[in-house]
Structure formats: structure tokens, C-alpha cells
Amino acid sequence: MKVLTVGASGATGQLVIQKLIARDHQVTGMARTADQAAAIGRLGATPVNADLERAETLPAAVADQEAVIFAAGSKGKQLDTVDKGGAISLIEAAGGSGVRRFVMLSSFYVGHPDAGPEKIRAYLWAKHEADRYLEASTLDYTIVRPSWLTNGFETGRIAVSRYFDDPDASISRADVAETLVTALEVPETIRQTFEIISGSTPIRVALESVPGFTSC
């Protein structure tokens, strides 16, 4: 499958690229700078120059792609133009270019932003708007909302739910990346929104159980 990874130079995005390549997907990574493009190339993916804050650059980035994995984030610096506006612009570009599959990396509490930690509440609201826009689209979306991310070892196991009421729950970036890539292969995740934390169920098995969940 031809897959565009957005946020390709980030910690999670790099893991996504490595996992996609290991499964023989044709991977393109979106880059804003020459340094990012070089890093993406070293991972074995094809870099494409585009910027979430420049909507006019996005149609060319999604052209000829079959799927998008969105793993970008501004770390609170450009909430309106990247986390919300950039994501929405990319969703529009994907739909306009005929891309059907769109996997969105979101965050826990995004379904109910005011219940989240106050220090990240603005971020949660930005992601909330982007997620809602994707859910209202005609794309075959999957929205994955992990708990706090760690740099721990990959376990290959998660727990999945509509909502986890556990503010201390966490999950490794590697398990999140594996979930995003596996979601492409599991049709049960299409047009589904769910949260994930570290758990005991193999990732593919957990994702196959998603049907029947509703948006948070």
C-alpha cells in the first residue's frame, strides 16, 4: 500500500515509517525542511516537501497515495495551524485526491477535553475539533487515542476501550506505532474512534474487537 506518514520526523512517526517499510508498504514521509527530508530518506522512505501550515502544499503530498497516517503534533506551539487547522487541511486534501484511508493519532481526553489536565486542555480542544472533522468526513478513518506516551519497550499488547478513566495510564510509543500500522490492515477499525493503553491483549486481536464502540 502507498502510505503517506505525516509527522514523519517525530519520535512516533519514525517508528511508524520503520514498521510500514518492514511490512513492504511504499512509504512517503512529509518533510518541511531539508534536514527532515534527509532523516526520512535515511529511514528508507521517500520524502515529500509539504507543510501543514501551508494548505496549498498538501494536495501534491497526498497525490497517488492510498492511505495517510497522521502522527504530527506541534507540542502546543501551533495548535490552531497544525494540530487543528493543519489536520483539517490534510483531511480535505486527502478527500479531494481520492485517498480513502486515514489513520489519525489523537490523544486520550480528546473526546471530553474539559475533563483532561488543565495544562493540555487547549491542545485537547484543538485535537477534538480535528477528530470531529475527520469523523464527519467520508473517509475510511481510524482515530487512535493513546494515554500518556513513554519510551518504554514494545510489548505488542494493549487494552482498547471507548474511554479509560485512568489519568495515570500509559503506553509505549512503539506500541502506539504498531497500533497505527496494524489498524491499516484491520478493517474492523474503519470509521472507529477508540482509546488505547498498555494492556495484555495482542494488538491485532484488540483491534479486531473494536466494532460496536462509539466515539468518545
Handedness of CA 202, 173, 116, 113 (dihedral sign): negative
Per-state percent for the chain, helix, strand, coil, to nearest 5:
40, 25, 35
C-alpha to C-alpha distance for 62 and 35, rounded to whole angstroms: 21
| Type and span of the H or E element at 97 | none
CA distance 84 to 98: 21
Amino acid at 96: G
Q: Which residues of 39-59 are buried (b: 16+ CB within 10 A; e: fewer)?
A: bbeebebebbebbbeebebbb
CA distance 141 to 2: 16
Please say if 123 is a catalytic residue.
Answer: yes
User: Looking at 123, 133, 141, 163, which residue is catalytic?
Assistant: 123
DSSP secondary structure code for residue 45 in this structure: P
Residues tagged active-site: 123
